[in-house]
Amino acid sequence: MSITHTTFSLPARVLHWAMAVLILAMLFIGVGMVATVSEKHSWLLAIHKPLGIAILLLAIVRLVVRLRNPPPPLPGDLPALQKLAAHLSHWLLYALMIAMPLIGWAMLSAGGYPVMLSHSLRLPAILPENALVFAWLRTAHGVLAYLLFLTFLAHMGAALYHGLIRRDGVLRSMANGRARDPSPLMPDGACVVNERLTD
Amino acid sequence: MHDPQPLSHPPRNGLRWALIAGAVVVAGGAFAYVGGWLTPHRLTAQRLVDELQRNGGGVHPGYRRNHAKGVCVAGYFEGNGKASAYSTASVFAVGRTPVVGRFAIPGGNPYAPDGSVPIRSLALRFNLPNGQQWRTGMNSMPVFPVATPQAFYALQVAGEKDPATGKPDPARLAAFFAAHPETAAFRAWAKTARPSASFVTESYSGIDAFYFIDAKGQRHAVRWQMVADAANGTPAPAGDDNYLIPDLQHRLATGPQRWHLLVTLAHPGDPTDDATKAWPAERTTLDAGTLVLTSEQPQDSGPCRDINYDPTVLPAGIAISDDPLLSARSAAYADSYLRRTREEAHVPGTTAPTRTQPEAAR
């Protein structure tokens, strides 16, 4: 049995909004901590590392949720170019939210730093010490952070475009789970489609 | 929940577009503000390192942006257990911890004459058996000239060399010192300090305060110093710009060189946030163990080359204090490390290092 669902599953929505807050915080922490010479540098750095690992774990869970619960299809009348941009940017976001913590971890390993998540909790190194590898990974970490922030800006802009200009229910399908195109069988539209029905 | 507006006639879409653009601009602007791009006068790690670079005579690719001239050393620290009552760090227990260190002189010029400054520095990385590390960067003066990163930056600006004379403008420096009375203790020390002929006869102070954390979780404010076993040496030889490394080689050839790690315990009320103020001399001092250095290697190929001696890299049992210089050092050292490793890695946009300088200058 298969029906076309029009909302994101509840776990997908919870993960989306929780990670939106965490990733956005992470980007601001990152850009702030490398610039500031105040005491904020030390405490932002202390947050950055455990938060990065938390985002990595959540991103893996989210990828599984995503693969098990296909997202609702985009509106049929959306131009092909916008559809392509939507798909590419979503997979770019997934790639970056998994790659960024791994690159950070690998970069600290290559730089010879102990990867401390707290005063006493240390993660093992995932690369041998090599300053040249550090330089490339640290450069990638910075460049990809800007790319992630720009992708976030595009994502937010596109979401608002769907919500305010097109008003096609795409934003609502992630915002509150109400169906954008209520089926007569579910008149209140407040259905969270059970993923087992869609398999 | 059908939208009442037909999609083909959206009224007031201009306002909606403005809302979208506004959200993107506000988010992007906040990011740029936090990154320091909108506030060119705010001190950032990058601006601090740029200033150190200027004072060091420009970019010397591959070299540290401060304390650029130095040499790698290696050996071990022999803990005696006396500091274990105050810190759970295993480095203080009875036993040996391997150490990779670096002697250097301050300044961004890797070719500076050894006698150009009366200060020597010693940086150490202790590799603890549990994989944690203790990194420290110490100097041969008892106090720091300034207490804040902003004042340190201002001192660098005041000390910029006048292109006409090749020396700092005395009037500018005098104006800085007049505006910064906290420099008095450092200046009193500098008046009598002479460049030493050896790294080995110097004692090196951690200057910033830290906390030791004991097994009960109790914090103890401390400062530490590596005190040389070697007797005070002769003054530096005249007419020689590179005598420190040959002296070190000569002394190590005769045997290991030793320092004692003296840890001073603060009384309540002793300042932990002001590196310009020494603590009273009568404070309790522990001898926590012996640093034994056994070998040296050039800094361009030795094991210290790829180490950023960030003093905030600490094992469990040691923690940073509220000294504002610590975070600034961490941020600036990270930027210096990134610049020089990028140069070594030939990352586009950087200048690759050249290897034509005399060995003695490394």
From B1, B305, B327, residue closest to A178, measured CB to CB: B1
* 8 A C-beta contact, residue B331 and residue B84: no
Q: What is the pLDDT of residue B352?
A: 87
Same domain, B75 and B23: no
Q: Do B23 and A157 touch (CB under 8 A)?
A: yes
Percent of chain B with pLDDT over 70: 95
Average pLDDT over residues B80-102: 98
pLDDT at B250 over 80: yes
Confidence of residue B231 (pLDDT cuts 50, 70, 90): confident
Chain A contact present for B263, CB below 8 A: no
Instruction: Read off the pLDDT of residues B73-88 as tens digits, 9 standing for 90 and up.
Output: 999 999 999 999 999 9
Percent of chain A with pLDDT over 90: 82
Average pLDDT over residues B115-134: 96
Q: What is the pLDDT of residue B164?
A: 84
Same domain, B26 and B100: no
From B13, B45, B327, residue closest to A165, measured CB to CB: B13
Average pLDDT over residues A19-23: 98
Q: Which of A23, A34, A37 best probes binding to B when mutated, by most B CB atoms within 10 angstroms?
A: A37
Separation of alpha carbons A11 and A69, rounded Å: 9
Summary mean pLDDT of chain B: 93
pLDDT at A187 over 60: no
How many pairs of residues across A and B have Cβ atoms under 8 Å apart?
Answer: 138
Q: What is the pLDDT of residue A184?
A: 36
Residue B73 lies in a domain: yes
Same domain, B113 and B224: yes
Residue B59 lies in a domain: no
A68 token code pair? 């098990």
Answer with the residue of higher pLDDT: B206 or B234: B206
Q: Where are the beta strands (DSSP E) in A9-146?
A: 115-116, 122-123
ipTM of the complex: 0.92
Average pLDDT over residues B192-202: 94
Residue B32 lies in a domain: yes
Alpha carbon B138 to its chain centroid, in Å, reads 8
Answer with the residue of higher pLDDT: B56 or A25: A25
Query: Left if phi > 0, otherwise alpha if psi is -120 to 50, otherwise beta: which for B214?
Result: beta
Q: Where are the beta strands (DSSP E) in chain A?
A: 115-116, 122-123
Chain A contact present for B221, CB below 8 A: no
pLDDT at A1 over 80: no
For residue B18, give its domain range. 13-41
Chain A contact present for B38, CB below 8 A: no
Instruction: Read off the pLDDT of residues B343-359 as tens digits, 9 standing for 90 and up.
Output: 999 999 998 887 654 44
Q: What is the pLDDT of residue A174?
A: 93
Same domain, B26 and B133: no
Q: Do A165 and B30 touch (CB under 8 A)?
A: no
Same domain, B105 and B224: yes
Q: What is the CATH number of the domain that holds B102?
A: 2.40.180.10
Confidence of residue A191 (pLDDT cuts 50, 70, 90): very low
From A38, A116, A167, residue closest to B3, measured CB to CB: A167
Average pLDDT over residues A73-92: 95
H, E, C per residue of B71-138? EEEEEEEEECCHHHHCCCCHHHCCEEEEEEEEEEECCCCCCCCHHHCCCCEEEEEEECCCCCEEEEEE
pLDDT at B20 over 90: yes
Residue B2 annotated to the active site: no
Same domain, B35 and B76: no
Confidence of residue A183 (pLDDT cuts 50, 70, 90): very low
The one-letter amino acid code at B176 reads: F
A10-178 sits in which CATH class? mainly alpha
Q: Give chain B's length.
A: 362
Residue B183 lies in a domain: yes
Q: What is the pLDDT of residue A176?
A: 79
pLDDT at B308 over 50: yes
Q: Do B1 and A179 touch (CB under 8 A)?
A: yes
Separation of alpha carbons B338 and B306, rounded Å: 10
Q: Do B20 and A132 touch (CB under 8 A)?
A: no
Confidence of residue B11 (pLDDT cuts 50, 70, 90): low
Pick the catalytic residue: B2, B41, B60, B67?
B67
What are the extents of the domains in chain A?
Answer: 10-178
User: What is the domain count for chain B?
Assistant: 2
Instruction: Read off the pLDDT of residues A38-48 as tens digits, 9 standing for 90 and up.
Output: 999 999 999 99
Instruction: Read off the pLDDT of residues B146-184 as tens digits, 9 standing for 90 and up.
Output: 999 999 999 999 999 888 888 899 999 999 999 999 999
Residue B154 lies in a domain: no
Answer with the residue of higher pLDDT: B30 or A4: B30
pLDDT at A195 over 60: no
Chain A contact present for B300, CB below 8 A: no
